[in-house]
Structure 1
Amino acid sequence: MAGIALVTGATSGIGEATALRLADEGYDIIATGRRENRLNTLREKIETKGRKCMVYPLDVRVQSDVQNFANRLPDEWKKIDVLVNNAGLAAGKGPIQEGNLDHWERMIDTNVKGLLYVSKAIIPFMTSRKKGHIINIGSIAGKEVYPGGNVYNGTKHAVDALTRGMRIDLIEYGIRVSQIAPGMVETEFSLVRFDGDQQKADETYHGFDPLLAEDIADAVAYQVTRPPHVNVADMLILPTAQASAIVVKKEE
């Protein structure tokens, strides 16, 4: 067995693909997310691969629930080797002066505070063993800003900074801290961003081949399978048709 991996936001997209890929790499999986039925389906898929899987319905925005989740883990499941902080979202897109406060709160609470809550709850399991690997799923939006992305850009810049800060703080414990910053990945991301508007979501990925969730899962697998003395600290991954946050070659 490779160890135990905890993946947040595992009910779809990058989180689901990562949980499945890490199971293929020999990890037993702890999967969290807000949709219990999808977690149960994921557990069945992982168990067919011969790996153990614990699922836990969890909203990372609620600090008390996150801590209770960590406290209730059986001792054998507390030996977490890999934490993938994947839970995140974009909500809305437009000029900051027209911003929706509910959208802002959801992004800040999930992308920044949720990552912090989970990390704070799980890191003590790693520091006590002087072993572990934390992977934060960021975004190209954490490397450069784009029109209409203001608050989302801000939250992902925070993930970028937190990743670098965590790496410094945890170096004495031998804990690797990495980031993966994807460009445009075709998942439920845009459907959530546009409040369920399927047409707008589809238009986002029309005319080019975007990344798939499995592409990012491959990158996670690459990071965690490096030798112990190697930390792939940061990976920016784009589809070939994307050159920057706003430059995308689309065919008509």
Structure 2
Amino acid sequence: MKRHLSGRKILITGASSGIGMYLAIHVARRGGIPILAARSVDRLRIISQHVQQEFEVPCYWYEADLSNDADWKDVIDRICFEHGPIDALINNAGMAVFDYVSEAKWQDIDRMLAVNVKSLIRTTHQLLPHFLNQKQGHVVNIASQAGKIATPRSSVYSASKHAVIGFTNALRMEVEKDGVYVTSVNLGPVRTNFFKSADPSGGYEKAVENVMLDPNKVALSVVKHLFTKRREINLPAWMDSGSKAYQLAPGLVERGLKRQFSKK
């Protein structure tokens, strides 16, 4: 296994399960040092122990609620103080509650925007000066195909991912001259615990179970492209083709895929 990340410190948010957990494993397998942040202390402890025993690299973890901006800022400051300059950031934390706007609870809307958008920008904003001073670094933002194609009952979630893609694209142009890479990872449905909060009924997960992505393979693709000049990672490929068609003829696609768009 090529250890192209040897000694590099990678901060991963939302690291207690799913894609985040596999990101930690693949970073460590390539010699990197995962620094994990999430709410679930028990899960973080287990992942950290596994990584250290299996790959013989340090793996640090921090309890953090990314929906609380002040607390999350303090955790980032602590990480930077204890570890010095970070080499790469993977903004993986995200959540959703699928609902019609007219029926949505404000606390769900507020939390989605806080976790998916504000915390991502907060983390990037605090770490970016380190990257610029080092003249190297990589910001990877886990977005969604929902940020390219909005569907009913995902209006706020789609809006949050539209924001992530817009932020990522602008940031990429701002820092490319300074040796810092910025990548957007736009995913379709992934087989994780994400849908337990997004759609507790299980209806949407059942409707798309045959096309769901493997979180291990997603994480592997992301880690393989760390410290490479990659604009986007789009998975699955057929959904990326659909999003491109949507940009060209949104009305036609909405009419043609109305039934599929309403599966939530």
TM-score range relative to shorter protein: 0.7 to 0.9
Structure 1 counterpart of 2:161, which letter?
K
The SS at the match of 1:87 is coil
Does the 8 A contact of 2:186 with 2:235 survive in 1? yes
TM-score w.r.t. structure 1 length? Answer: 0.87
Q: What's the % identity of the aligned pairs?
A: 27
CA distance in structure 2 between the aligned counterparts of 1:132 and 1:200, rounded to whole angstroms: 40
Range moving further from structure 2, 121-130 or 47-56: 121-130
1:219 corresponds to 2:221: yes
Query: TM-score, structure 2 length as denominator?
Result: 0.84
Per the alignment, residue 49 of structure 2 pairs with 44
Note the aligned Cα RMSD (angstroms): 2.2
List structure 1 segments (4+ residues) > 3 angstroms apart after TM superposition. 199-202, 239-248
Residue aligning to 1:158: 163
The partner residue of 1:92 within 98, 119, 133 is 98
Partner of 2:143: 138
Q: Which amino acid in the other structure matches residue 232 of structure 2?
A: D
Q: Specify every segment of 5 or more residues in structure 2 that has no aligned partner in the other structure, as ranges.
A: 1-5, 244-256
Report the secondary structure of 2:116's partner residue: helix
Query: SS at the partner of 1:118?
Result: helix
| Partner SS, residue 64 of structure 1 | helix
2:231 to 218, 230, 233: 233
> What residue number does 2:60 align with?
54
Aligned to 1:113: 118
Check the 8 A contact 2:15/2:38 in 1, yes or no: yes
How far did 1:74 drift?
6.0
Q: Is the 8 A contact 1:182 1:238 kept in 2?
A: yes
Residue in 2 aligned with 1:21?
26
Match of 1:70 in 2: 76
Unaligned runs of 5+ in 1: none
Once the two structures are TM-superposed, the CA of residue 101 in structure 1 deviates from its matched residue by 1.4
How many residue pairs match? The answer is 240
Query: Secondary structure of 1:103's match?
Result: helix
Q: CA deviation at 1:201?
A: 6.0
* Cα distance between partner residues in 2 of 1:193 and 1:210: 15
* Structure 1 partner of 2:14: 9
1: CA distance, partners of 2:21 / 2:67: 19
Per-residue CA deviations over 1:12-32 (Å, capped at 9, x if unaligned) read 111111111111111001000
